[in-house]
C-alpha cells in the first residue's frame, strides 16, 4: 500500500498527543501500511515533541513492528524446539524454493513475507506455520504447497 501523509496524520490524530500512545500509533501504521514508514515516525516525533531516535528504538525493539515493507501475506514459521525437531528447517527450505525468499525477506511482487519465530505455543502440532493469523499444524512439504497455493488463490483458510 502506498504511504499517504494524510492517512499518517489521521492515524496520529486519532490519539491524544501523549508519548504513552506512541506504540499504539506505530502499530496502527504497521497495520495500515504493512510497516512503519520513516515519514510516519518523523510526523509522530514532531507531534509528540520527542526525538525520532526514541521512536526508532521502540520500533526496533518490538518484533511486531517493521521498518521495511512487509508482504500482503505474512508467513510465520515456528522454529522453536518442538518444531525444529519435527522439520521446521525443511519447511523454511520449502518456502525458499516455492517463493524464492528466506527468513526476513519479502517476495518481489510484495505478496509474501517470511518470518521465523521462537514459539507459537502449539508444540503438539509441530511443525507449525501461521499465515495471516491462521494456524496450520503438522505441516509437510506437500501441505506447504497447498497452503501457499490456497493463499495465492484467495487467502488463508
User: Binding site membership for [2Fe-2S] cluster: which residues?
Assistant: 78, 83, 119, 123
Q: Which residues are annotated as a binding site?
A: 78, 83, 119, 123
Under a CB-based contact definition with an 8 Å cutoff, are residues 71 and 107 in contact? Answer: yes
Under a CB-based contact definition with an 8 Å cutoff, are residues 136 and 147 in contact? Answer: yes
Q: Which three cell numbers stand for residue 3?
A: 504511504
Environment class of residue 52 by beta-carbon count within 10 Å: exposed (0-12), middle (13-18) or buried (19+)?
middle
Under a CB-based contact definition with an 8 Å cutoff, are residues 40 and 22 in contact? Answer: no
Amino acid at each position: 500500500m502506498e504511504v499517504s501523509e494524510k492517512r499518517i496524520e489521521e492515524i496520529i490524530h486519532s490519539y491524544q498527543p501523549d508519548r504513552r500512545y506512541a506504540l499504539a500509533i506505530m502499530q496502527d501504521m504497521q497495520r495500515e501500511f504493512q510497516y512503519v514508514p520513516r515519514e510516519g515516525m518523523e510526523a509522530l516525533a514532531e507531534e509528540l515533541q520527542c526525538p525520532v531516535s526514541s521512536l526508532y528504538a521502540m520500533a526496533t525493539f518490538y518484533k511486531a513492528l517493521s521498518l521495511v515493507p512487509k508482504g500482503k501475506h505474512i508467513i510465520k514459521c515456528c522454529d522453536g524446539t518442538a518444531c525444529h525437531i519435527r522439520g521446521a528447517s525443511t519447511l523454511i527450505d520449502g518456502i525458499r524454493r516455492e517463493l524464492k525468499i528466506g527468513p526476513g525477506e519479502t517476495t518481489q511482487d510484495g505478496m509474501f513475507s517470511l518470518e521465523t519465530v521462537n514459539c507459537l505455543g502449539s508444540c503438539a502440532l509441530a511443525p507449525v506455520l501461521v499465515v495471516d493469523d491462521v494456524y496450520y499444524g503438522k505441516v509437510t512439504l506437500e501441505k506447504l504447497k497447498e497452503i501457499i497455493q490456497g493463499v495465492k488463490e484467495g487467502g488463508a483458510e
